[in-house]
Amino acid sequence: MNTLLFDEKKGFYSTKIGECGKDQKKFLKLVKKLMGRKSNVNLPHFTSAELLADKFNNYFRRKTTIIRNKIVSDTSNTTSNISMDADIMFNGNILEMFRPTSEVEVKEVIIKFPKKSYDLDPLPTWILRKCVDQLLPLITIIVIRPIDESVMPLCLKRATVTTLLKRSGLDKERMKNYCPISTLPFISKLIEKVVARHIEEHL
């Protein structure tokens, strides 16, 4: 009886590990879950979540402004007549425009997406995947247009931001010890993957 139970558990774990494939992030997440380790959310102490969000927002906006100003300053102080010599001359074809994107290609990319959903998505990813054939013509149009016009719509640039400590052990009361993790909508990620696919093919 014990041997049978052991074999069942062994088969269960083997199946779960096999489902991870070559996705190391997914594998580590599975190990963490099986070991019963819970992720502790480390955030500074504050009177309310709204005030804490404003504090993080103001800090990262100031940091971004400082970085941008430094880039502009460094660029303006650099002489424009600097020439760069390369040991190897480029003899390949220049990527002047992306090739047309088909519904088949968009579907292939969607099917490979993880099933998790994102906060800004109006439709859970698992439902979208089940209805992919019905929604595919519309989704393909949404993907093609930004690529053809070389402009990402503002609505697809919105993201939910999660703040994480850069490493364990740092003082959680200091803003500089946190890094912002942005999560974009599903369609934004889909467009990125299609573009990346075209660039990889060209290279």
Q: pLDDT (tens digit, 9 = 90+) per residue, 1-26?
A: 455 444 555 677 777 777 777 777 77
For the stretch 68-127, pLDDT in tens is 998 888 777 665 555 566 677 777 788 888 889 999 999 999 998 877 777 888 888 888
In angstroms, the CA 66 to CA 71 distance is 9
pLDDT tens digits for range 37-57: 555 667 888 778 888 888 889
Q: Where on the phi/psi map is residue 163: left (φ > 0), alpha (ψ -120 to 50), or beta?
A: beta
Please state the domain extents for the chain.
1-39, 41-60+98-203
Give the residues across from 163 on adjacent strands.
180
Count CB-CB contacts under 10 A for residue 56: 19
Coil, strand or helix at 157 = coil
Chain CA centroid to CA 187, Å: 11
Could you give the dihedral angle defined by the CA atoms of residues 156, 161, 166 and 169, in that order, rounded to the nearest 10 degrees? -160
- Strand pairing of 160-165 and 178-183? antiparallel
List C-alpha distances in Å: 52 to 7, 99, 114, 180, 181: 49, 45, 31, 14, 16
Task: Determine the Cα–Cα distance for residues 75 and 119; give it in Å rounded to an integer.
Answer: 37
Structure tokens, 58 = 């103001």
* C-alpha of 179 from chain center: 15
CA angle 59-62-68, nearest 5°? Answer: 140
